Amino acid sequence: MTTFKALESSKDEDQNTLSIIEKNIDDLPDGDILIKVSYSSLNYKDALSASGSPGVTKNYPHTPCIDAVGHVQESSDSAFKEGDVVIVTGYDLGMNTAGGFGQYIRVPAHWVIKLPNGLNEVEAMSLGTAGLTAGLSIQALEKYSSTTGFEGSKSIVTGSTGGVGSIAVMLLSKLGSEVTAVTGKNTQKSFLENLGASEVISREELSEMTRLPMGKPIWDLGVDVVSGNTLSLLLSSLKPGGAVACSGLVGGPSFESSIFPFILRGNALLGIDSVEIPLSQKEAVWKNFASDWKLDLSKLVKEVPLEGLENEINSILQGGQVGRVLVNLN
């Protein structure tokens, strides 16, 4: 019987413990496709699951991680064969289904896409759900502002040193936008400029630049992963016809706004779901990253083995992560 290593999170009353254990293939849930995982990545949701958050994962012990890339070992679905290199992100992976912090996963076929030509396994998980979310944000903004596009636009990205934010900065810059990066990490200015940011400001500076419910129009578009007061400020400072794509809530689930930006400037708030959307929509974004959106991701990635994950989980929970963490399961 094949055994493999996995990071397991377990709960004993109020105590949460992380450990690397040996598991059997038979321990995995039923599914159409068995995948040997090469790489995964660390997202904020993974850290919540690993730390015992009941809002993410209900049943413990559990192997977190909503991302995985690897090689098909067995498939009952004719669309996939042994040896295919595939990506799985979102749906229930790593939430209540054993996830990418294990060397094997077994999942339904409708969660799986083949790795596009032009993208390798390291690049795929350097992007992961964070990259997919950033890509979906840019795609939504592009669709909304199809008459103007990104070239020559002024954009703003919040949470810009995190996974979604850092990739959004790179992608918007590549597409010709002048990017303002907002961060609470004042020591990371050179990191963000190296990613393509034209301007780096603090959260306090953002507060000084605009006001509620409607301030000076500054930016054409925005990518927000913070919500809370930060999202309120972004909505108040968009130019006519501008939009913000929002995908996170590290600043809280609530925000204050008014009808004025929407009816006086024609602004829009675009919600981004990267978890439960149809697989075809995910596939389109992955193909973009393999071609027109190709990025040099080496400048924002830290690679760790399974044994190095606990420190990184603690870091992201404390707001210390910069860029992306790539997990090597080979």
Write the pLDDT tens digit of every residue in 54-65: 888 888 999 999
Domain boundary residue, one of 271, 286, 307: 271
- The verdict on residue 163 lying in a domain is yes
Residue 231 and residue 256 in one domain? yes
Query: In this predicted structure, what is the pLDDT of residue 146?
Result: 60
- Which DSSP string corresponds to 99-129? -TTBSEEEE-GGGEEEPPTT--HHHHHHHHH
Q: What percent of the chain has pLDDT over 70?
A: 99
Residue 133 and residue 111 in one domain? no
Query: In this predicted structure, what is the pLDDT of residue 147?
Result: 58
- The verdict on residue 106 lying in a domain is yes
pTM, rounded to two decimals: 0.95
Q: Per-residue pLDDT for 275 more than 80?
A: yes
- The verdict on residue 235 lying in a domain is yes
Query: In this predicted structure, what is the pLDDT of residue 319?
Result: 85
Q: Which amino acid is at 193?
A: E
- CATH number for position 184: 3.40.50.720
What is the residue whose two structure tokens read 């004025």?
Answer: 260
Model confidence at 40, pLDDT cuts 50, 70, 90, reads very high
Residue 90 and residue 68 in one domain? yes
Cα distance between residue 109 and residue 100, in whole Å = 16
Mean per-residue pLDDT for 231-256?
91
Residue 166 and residue 192 in one domain? yes
Q: Is the Cα dihedral 21, 317, 127, 309 positive or negative? A: negative
- The verdict on residue 278 lying in a domain is no
- The verdict on residue 283 lying in a domain is no
Cβ atoms of residues 5 and 306 within 8 Å:
yes
Residue 300 and residue 252 in one domain? no
Domain boundary residue, one of 236, 255, 271: 271
Q: Per-residue pLDDT for 324 more than 90?
A: yes
List the domain range (segments joined by +) for residue 243. Answer: 129-271
Average pLDDT over all residues of the chain = 94
Q: Per-residue pLDDT for 295 more than 80?
A: yes
Write the pLDDT tens digit of every residue in 143-190: 887 656 799 999 999 999 999 999 999 999 999 999 999 998 889 999
121-144 vs 163-174: helix crossing angle, rounded to 10? 70
Residue 150 and residue 267 in one domain? yes
Query: In this predicted structure, what is the pLDDT of residue 123?
Result: 97
- The verdict on residue 191 lying in a domain is yes
Q: Per-residue pLDDT for 71 more than 70?
A: yes
Residue 157 and residue 263 in one domain? yes
- The verdict on residue 280 lying in a domain is no
Q: Per-residue pLDDT for 1 more than 70?
A: no
Q: Per-residue pLDDT for 252 more than 90?
A: no
Mean per-residue pLDDT for 228-235?
93
Residue 174 and residue 266 in one domain? yes
- The verdict on residue 281 lying in a domain is no
Domain boundary residue, one of 255, 271, 287: 271
Number of independent structural domains in the chain: 2
Residue 186 and residue 62 in one domain? no
Residue 204 and residue 310 in one domain? no
Q: Which amino acid is at 205?
A: E
Residue 266 and residue 133 in one domain? yes
Mean per-residue pLDDT for 292-320?
93
Cα distance between residue 313 and residue 151, in whole Å = 37
Query: In this predicted structure, what is the pLDDT of residue 45?
Result: 92
Model confidence at 210, pLDDT cuts 50, 70, 90, reads confident
Q: Per-residue pLDDT for 78 more than 90?
A: yes
- CATH number for position 321: 3.90.180.10
Residue 83 and residue 151 in one domain? no
Q: Is the Cα dihedral 208, 214, 219, 221 positive or negative? A: positive
Model confidence at 310, pLDDT cuts 50, 70, 90, reads very high
Contacts of 154 (CB under 8 A, 6+ apart): 177, 178, 180, 218, 219, 220, 239
Q: Is the Cα dihedral 106, 112, 117, 120 positive or negative? A: negative
Mean per-residue pLDDT for 212-238?
93
279-289 vs 121-144: helix crossing angle, rounded to 10? 110
Cβ atoms of residues 107 and 97 within 8 Å:
yes
Write the pLDDT tens digit of every residue in 84-137: 999 999 999 999 999 999 999 999 999 999 999 999 999 999 999 999 999 999
Per residue in 172-198, is it b (16+ CB within 10 Å) or e — as a string? bbbbebbbbbbbebeebbebbeebbbb
